[in-house]
Chains A and B, each alone.
Chain A
Amino acid sequence: MKKQFNFSDEFGKIDETLIAEAGKAWTVKKSNILKLYRWKIVQAAAIILIFTAVAGNSYVQAAVKKFTTKIGEIFWFSKDLSDYTEIINQTQTQNDISLTINEVILDDYSLIVSVKPNYGERKEAPYLWINDEKTLINGQRYQSISNTVGGGIDLEAFESNGIDTETVLAQEYDNMDLSDGEIEVHLVLEAGEHVPIFQKNRSETIAEFVYDFTISGEQLKAQTVQKEVNMEVPGGDGHSLILKELVMNDLRSRIVASGVTWNDRWINEYELKLKGQDSFGNPVSFMSMGFRSENELRFETDFFGDYDGGAVVDEDSFQMSVPDKNCAYMDLQLYQRKILWDSESSKKLEDEYYAQESLDPSEVYSEEDNYGWEPVGDVFRIQVKE
Chain B
Amino acid sequence: MEDTAIIELFWNRDETAIQELSNKYSGYCYKIAWNLLKNHEDAEECLNDTWFAAWGYMPPKRPSVLSAFVGRITRGLAIDCFRRKQAVKRMDGHIVDVCGEMDELSFSYTVDERMAEKELIRTIESFLRNLPDADRDIFIRRYWYLDSIKDIAKRHGVSQGCIKTNLCRNRKKLYRILRREVLA
Contacts and interface: CB of A to CB of B under 8 A. Distances in A.
Contacts of B125: 14-15, 18
Given A10-B120, A23-B145, A344-B169, A153 B158 contact: yes
Interface in B145-184: 145, 153-162, 168-169, 172-173, 178, 182
B79 A9 contact: yes
A5 B108 contact: yes
Contact of B156 (A9, A14, A157): A157
Given A19-B71, A22-B145, A26-B137, A5 B65 contact: no
Contacts of A229: none
B57 interface: no
B157 A22 contact: no
Contacts of B168: 344
Contact of A3 (B75, B99, B114): B114
Contact of A10 (B103, B124, B173): B124
Given A11-B143, A152-B158, A161-B157, A32 B134 contact: yes
B110 interface: yes
Given A6-B106, A20-B65, A311-B132, A12 B155 contact: no
A19 B68 contact: yes
A338 B169 CA distance: 20
A23 B124 contact: no
B134 A13 contact: no
B94 interface: no
Interface in B115-157: 117, 120-121, 124-125, 128-132, 134-137, 140-141, 143-145, 153-157
A364 to B, nearest CB: 10
B71 A8 contact: no
B159 A152 contact: yes
Contacts of B67: 19-20, 23
Contact of B157 (A1, A10, A11, A157): A157
A52 to B, nearest CB: 14
A363 B68 contact: no
B72 interface: yes
Nearest to A32: B134
A143 B114 CA distance: 56
Interface of B is mostly: helix
A7 B102 contact: yes
B108 A2 contact: yes
Given A12-B72, A19-B68, A124 B160 contact: yes
Contacts of B172: 344
Contacts of B158: 32-33, 152-154, 157
A342 B169 contact: yes
Given A16-B69, A22-B136, A154-B158, A3 B110 contact: yes
Interface of A: 1-23, 26, 28-29, 32-33, 56, 59, 124-125, 152-154, 156-158, 160-161, 163, 309, 311, 342, 344-345, 360, 362-363
29 contacts: A2-B108, A2-B109, A4-B107, A5-B120, A8-B102, A8-B106, A10-B124, A11-B143, A12-B72, A12-B144, A14-B121, A14-B140, A16-B65, A16-B69, A18-B129, A18-B136, A20-B68, A21-B140, A22-B136, A22-B141, A22-B144, A23-B67, A59-B157, A153-B157, A154-B153, A154-B157, A157-B153, A157-B155, A363-B131
Given A3-B110, A6-B106, A7-B103, 15 more contacts: A2-B111, A7-B143, A10-B121, A11-B124, A14-B124, A14-B128, A18-B129, A18-B140, A19-B71, A20-B68, A21-B137, A22-B137, A154-B158, A360-B132, A363-B131
Interface of B: 28, 63-65, 67-69, 71-72, 75-76, 79, 99, 102-103, 105-111, 114, 117, 120-121, 124-125, 128-132, 134-137, 140-141, 143-145, 153-162, 168-169, 172-173, 178, 182
